[in-house]
Structure 1
Amino acid sequence: MEEIDVPGRKKKHKRRSLVGIIFVLIQLIASVVAAVLIGNSKVIPAKYFLAGCFLLAVLFLVALLLQLIKSKVAHVTGIIFSILVCIAICIGGYSFSKVYSVLTDIGGAEYKTDNMIVVVRKDDPAETILDAADYIFATQSIADQENNEKMLKKLRTVTGKELTTREFGTIFEEAQALLDGKIDAAIYNEAFDEVIEEQISGYGDQVRILYQYGVDTKLKTVNQSVKEPFNVYISGIDVYGPVSKTSRSDVNIIATVNPNTKQVLLTTTPRDYYVEIPGVSNGQKDKLTHAGIYGVDASMATLAKVYNTEINYYARVNFTSLINIVDTIGGIDVNSEYAFEAGGYSFVQGVNHMDGEMALAFSRERHSFAGGDNQRGKNQEAVLTAIINKMLEPSMLTKAMDILDTLGESVQTNVPDRHLASLVEMQLNSGGNWSILTMSAVGTGDEQACYSTGSQLLYVMQPNEVSVRSISDKINRILGGEILTQ
């Protein structure tokens, strides 16, 4: 029996050894793949990356040594150890890939999209654009001519006909002509819908979109390093749904970031600031919010001219974005300068805990304040500051995956993903808190004609030049590395 049993035990030992070595090799492969992926991402600082590689090497040696010991217990323990290490690597790899995927999804936007539409009256019998081939199509001559021409060209291709067109002086005249039956269909950029609704109450309920066409325009490539001071334009567009939609910008904040001094200056500019839109308005003035109709690059150029600075990057959010972000992080504590009511909510003077809907109502209100849009800008700064401070809390690590999911769906920026990764790496490497300062541009109410809407007088805000110069000075001092206090 002994002569037969010993070789049998040897065979079992060899099988256990072979199985164990296979698991050790799987662990080694998983470790190498993880190290290569993380190293190539440039997200993890070198000191942490090297420490991680050292830990993986130690874990590999432990697993290998357990398999070299001639003991059944050691072999089984080694197999279990390798399995657990592989599971840990997979979980860590998934989490890391999630982070990198979100950075890729958020960053590197290269195009702006204008959604050009054909609108007919709600009771119009046409079901497709081909049914409307013989209609009278209207355009307006004030603004957005290039996109209008692209849309007409597209319609000629789709219908196979030379269309009958009629031109109006303003978008309001075009919209009213459609409602009055003077034309059959109106062509314009969908971003004008909110502008029309302000002057023609109930317009959106009386029309429907028959056809739409997205016009993509490549944005200027930015090569600014995020390791040096930079400006980023934060645009809050006044729509729900996809954040990529071109629209007016209700929130206009310049974040001046100096990663060396760890200072951020948040500058809010009222949506109705009466300013030129470079490259668009031909020297005429318009509301700042209307610059968003022509794309985020037009808003950036407008604010860069106002404050005599360079704006390198942008980040866009909308109503849906704000609600989702605030709810995902479990609400925010916002300090209100005044007690007021808005959107069905009551806000007290002092600290208010807000969910997403409440934060949106707080951010949009202006009629409750003597300062109107000036105070709304301050409130928007308070909300943004509260979000930043909440996200920097250690407790947010437990919600990291949920936050990443929300950010991926809610934010659009032209910061390249490699630069976003660099920002993450810098923060992980240096740690520490950031100093957040705020400023708000002010002005006085007035009524003036605007480039985007023709001769009709609209409410605007004339910039206070002293306020503008003060902000410009502070932006340049932050960029220059000077450490400021509020």
Structure 2
Amino acid sequence: MISHAGHLEPHWHGRAAQPRRRRPALFIALIAFLSILAVAGGAIVGGGLLYAGSVASTFSSTVKHIPNAFPPAATRPVAVSTGAMNILLIGSDSRGDPTTISATGTSNQRSDTLMLVHIDADRRNVYVMSIMRDLWVPIPGNGTAKINAALAWGGTPLVVQTVEQLLGTPIDHVAIIDFQGLAGMTDALGGVDVDSPVGFTTVLKPHYTFVKGINHLDGSQALAFARERYAFPTADYQRVADQQALIRAIVSKVLSRSTLADPAAMTAFVGAMGRYLSVDEKFDLPTIIGLAASMRLDGASSIHTFTMPTGGTGTSADGQSIVNVDQNSLSALRTAYAHDQLGTLAQTR
């Protein structure tokens, strides 16, 4: 595991006043992306290219594309040719207009959560790193601020540029998602079994209660489970851990034999996901099929989730509550991304 000073220790996994509602948007994008790869990849192995092509085509016909998703080439890090792939997942909170989240320039959008998905070169493992939304980082052209401000100040390109410069690694694809698809997606799977790290009752009505351990969740319960942060002393740290637990549960259900064996159900499921997802213009149908065909995941154990190491919480000079970067771990993390060594890094922590 990766440690960080002054706060909870994030783990690698292979398996207040009335708050306003927030979107657990990023992990939905992850579910959509991994599900497409899992279903299409499994279809190629078990049902042939026709099934895989049908799944990918359904996704391609429903998903939206983000124009100009990336910053100018001159501002981007030079890629090391490892064959690995990085996908940045961006979700926005309820304050902004979802139709403008990919636009450059100032807006009222803030990214609720960020996740960086790293698919290793041999396509056998996927590493999902959550980035705390209050992480205090340099935002190009804007000084130092919370990382979630990048979307408001410069749209998708500035978010990409901020993450690329923070981690020193290029982003290959971008996805933005609307939270409303979560309940329907979970219900389409017949619910999921989530291993909750802690027991808690949600602050927001209708006050769902979850036990520590396995909980069978329908769509509404899954949405509440992923949204909650006010019930915890550690707030967003625990919410991120809960989102990661839900990711593993849904991906495990999607990868199950019974789910993969039902082409009609899976095609409908993928179509439902696509309606809530926007991706960069290069993530087209041939790319989807090609990537899916290359995946060699060994079930849910191939999906590894963790949180970017932080140096605990603090207060900025202008009085904001912030999360500090763990500078001692940042160098090793940058090296691991650059050289496709996240698996090795995990083993040494």
Give TM-score scaled by structure 1 length. Answer: 0.51
Q: What whole-Å deviation, never above 9, does each CA across 1:313-358 have from its counterpart, x for those lacking one? A: 1122232133332232222222222111113111111122222332
Q: What whole-Å deviation, never above 9, does each CA across 1:11-66 have from its counterpart, x for those lacking one? A: xxxxxxxxxxxxxxxxxxxxxxxxxxxxxxxx9969987xx9xxxxxxxxxxxxxx
Map 1:160-171 onto structure 2 (within 5 A).
none
Whole-Å separation in 2 of the counterparts to 1:102 and 1:422: 14
Question: Radius of gyration: which is bigger?
Answer: 1
Q: Which residue of 2 aligns with 1:288?
A: 147
Contact 1:240–1:320 (8 Å) recurs in 2: no
More displaced stretch, 242-251 vs 317-326: 242-251
Q: Which residue of 2 aligns with 1:304?
A: 164
SS in 2 for 1:319: coil
2:277 equivalent among 381, 389, 411: 411
1:229 equivalent among 84, 104, 115: 84
Whole-Å separation in 1 of the counterparts to 2:138 and 2:345: 32
Whole-Å separation in 2 of the counterparts to 1:375 and 1:402: 32
2:195 equivalent among 318, 329, 335: 335
Map 1:233-272 onto structure 2 (within 5 A).
233-239=88-94, 244-246=99-101, 247-272=109-134
1:437 equivalent among 298, 304, 316: 304
Change beyond 3 A, Cα 1:242–1:103: farther
Where in structure 1 are there 5+ consecutive unaligned residues? Answer: 1-42, 53-91, 113-217, 450-454
Deviation for aligned residue 1:245:
4.4
Contact 1:325–1:403 (8 Å) recurs in 2: yes
Whole-Å separation in 2 of the counterparts to 1:328 and 1:107: 21
Change beyond 3 A, Cα 1:481–1:354: closer
SS in 1 for 2:230: coil
SS in 1 for 2:94: coil
SS in 1 for 2:286: helix
Q: What whole-Å deviation, never above 9, does each CA across 1:292-333 have from its counterpart, x for those lacking one? A: 223222222222222222222112223213333223222222
Q: Which runs of 4+ in 1 moved over 6 A?
A: 43-49, 218-222
Letter in 1 for 2:290: S
Contact 2:123–2:297 (8 Å) recurs in 1: no
Q: Which residue of 1 aligns with 2:136?
A: 274
Whole-Å separation in 2 of the counterparts to 1:46 and 1:438: 26
Deviation for aligned residue 1:254:
0.7
Map 1:73-472 onto structure 2 (within 5 A).
96-97=53-54, 99-106=56-63, 108-111=65-68, 228-239=83-94, 244-246=99-101, 247-278=109-140, 280-281=141-142, 284-293=143-152, 294-342=154-202, 343=204, 344-397=207-260, 398=262, 399-414=265-280, 415-427=283-295, 432-433=298-299, 435-441=302-308, 442-448=310-316, 457-472=319-334
Q: How many corresponding residue pairs? A: 286
**Higher helix content, 1 or 2:** 1
Contact 2:54–2:267 (8 Å) recurs in 1: no
Q: What whole-Å deviation, never above 9, does each CA across 1:229-271 have from its counterpart, x for those lacking one? A: 1111112222399865423111211111115151111111111
Contact 2:124–2:297 (8 Å) recurs in 1: no
Q: Sequence identity of aligned pairs in percent?
A: 23
Whole-Å separation in 2 of the counterparts to 1:446 and 1:47: 51
Whole-Å separation in 2 of the counterparts to 1:448 and 1:315: 30
Deviation for aligned residue 1:418:
1.8
Change beyond 3 A, Cα 1:319–1:44: closer
Q: What whole-Å deviation, never above 9, does each CA across 1:405-445 have from its counterpart, x for those lacking one? A: 21220221122332112122224xx5743612222123322
Contact 1:261–1:483 (8 Å) recurs in 2: no
Contact 2:311–2:326 (8 Å) recurs in 1: yes
Contact 2:125–2:297 (8 Å) recurs in 1: no
Change beyond 3 A, Cα 1:339–1:470: farther
Contact 1:277–1:302 (8 Å) recurs in 2: yes
Report which structure shows greater RCO (CA 8 Å, sep ≥6). Answer: 2
- The two structures, once aligned, show a CA RMSD in angstroms of 3.7
Whole-Å separation in 2 of the counterparts to 1:272 and 1:478: 27
Deviation for aligned residue 1:381:
1.8
Change beyond 3 A, Cα 1:481–1:365: closer
Letter in 2 for 1:444: G
Letter in 2 for 1:396: T
Give TM-score scaled by structure 2 length. Answer: 0.69
Change beyond 3 A, Cα 1:478–1:356: farther
